[in-house]
Every structure is written in structure tokens, then in C-alpha cells.
Amino acid sequence: MKSDLQCNHPDLETLAAVIACSPIVVAKPARILPAGYDAVDIAILDWIVNESGRRRRGYSRAMS
């Protein structure tokens, strides 16, 4: 006797139809930074975060 998982194999067309009819709602992403920040500001902040991570990893290697 086969289990339900073994017998229930929908084809791609069935999956596409079900997904197309699904009420999928995607919320707008919340702003992390206040309004008025430009792409340059965000790039600078990303650089600072990346550099601090690199320095922290380098510091932990030097301490070992």
C-alpha cells in the first residue's frame, strides 16, 4: 500500500494553476533608514559595516 505522499504527485501545470489562483500578498519592505537617505549614504554605511567585520576578524586572528 502506498502512502499519501507517494501517490500525490501533482504535475507542473497543476502547481502553476494553484499558484496563479492563490491570494499571495507580499508586504512592502519596511524602511530600515529614515526617509531622505540617498544610495550614496547607504553605500557608505554598508562599507563601514563590512570594514568593521573585516577588522574584527583580523583582530581575532591576531589574538589567537
Instruction: Specify the pLDDT at position 26.
Output: 72
Nearest alpha carbon to residue 50 among 39, 42, 62, 60? 42
pTM of the predicted model as reported, rounded to 2 decimal places = 0.35
Question: Cα-flanking dihedrals φ and ψ of residue 44, to 5°?
Answer: -65, -45
Q: Percent helix, strand and coil across the chain, each rounded to 5?
A: 60, 0, 40
For residues 45 and 54, the answer to whether their CB atoms sit within 8 Å is: no
pLDDT digits (tens, 9 = 90+) for 8-61: 677 888 888 888 888 877 777 666 777 788 888 888 988 998 888 877 666 555
